[in-house]
A and B are shown apart, each in its own frame.
Chain A
Amino acid sequence: MEWADRYGYSPTVNTTAEVLPESALREAVDLLVRLVEAAGALIIFVGAVWAFGHFLLTMVRGAGPDRRFNRIRLTLGRFLALGLEFQLAGDVLRTAVAPSFTEIGQLAAIAAIRTALNFFLGREIAAERAEIERERRKEADGSRARAEPV
């Protein structure tokens, strides 16, 4: 082991270079999760502000049919669904580092709530859109019938 002494080699020294230490990975994932979740929250809040403004505008301009309110709700639902997608992406990222069972449990509960809500929102948006389409078609048929008297 003379060469080892000469070159300062010691078998007890850990020679594995830590390319990506766990703490750095944790910090990076935490930052990404915060960014993605903040984006989702921002989208949801912007949707709420947008819907609020449009409800007020509809009130100021004079209330039209219920369909106008439904359209605003439909757009708010789309904003919510988009924000939820971002937040679910944050949940998926967070699964990369989940140190304790409590955190894993909370993550599972939040992800379950968001997934269920996303599913129901998708169904509600589809139903609402079909309803609007049906009303529009009924109105078009009515105006056509008035235009062509028998």
Chain B
Amino acid sequence: MTTALNLAALATTAFGLVSAAVVLAAAGRLVPALAVLLDFLTAAGLLWLTGDPSWSTIAAAAAVIAVRKLVTAGLRPPRPG
């Protein structure tokens, strides 16, 4: 199962890269493309966490999710007041 999960996680990362490129080409802006890429990377991180992960895998997944949270919070446009 671990091999299938690793493949799925790799495929999800690749999907994210292509989707981000598509969004960047279509919208012409970096922020939505980055948001899409981070969503896919989160999905890949969750797939890495499935099964019996080691401490390093757990730390890597936590780091990706924390970075995603920080970047999303930093890139969010200010709400119109």
Contact = CB atoms under 8 A, between A and B. Distances in A.
Interface of A: 34, 37-38, 40-41, 44-45, 47-49, 51-52, 55-56, 58-59, 63, 66, 69-70, 73, 76-77, 79-80, 83-84, 87, 106, 109-110, 113-114, 116-117, 120, 124
A106 B55 contact: yes
Dominant secondary structure at the B interface? helix
Dominant secondary structure at the A interface? helix
Interface residues on B, range: 35 or more
B49 A52 contact: no
Given A59-B25, A59-B26, A106-B58, A44 B46 contact: yes
Nearest to B5: A41
Nearest to B52: A106
Given A48-B40, A76-B39, A114-B49, A41 B23 contact: no
A41 B43 CA distance: 9
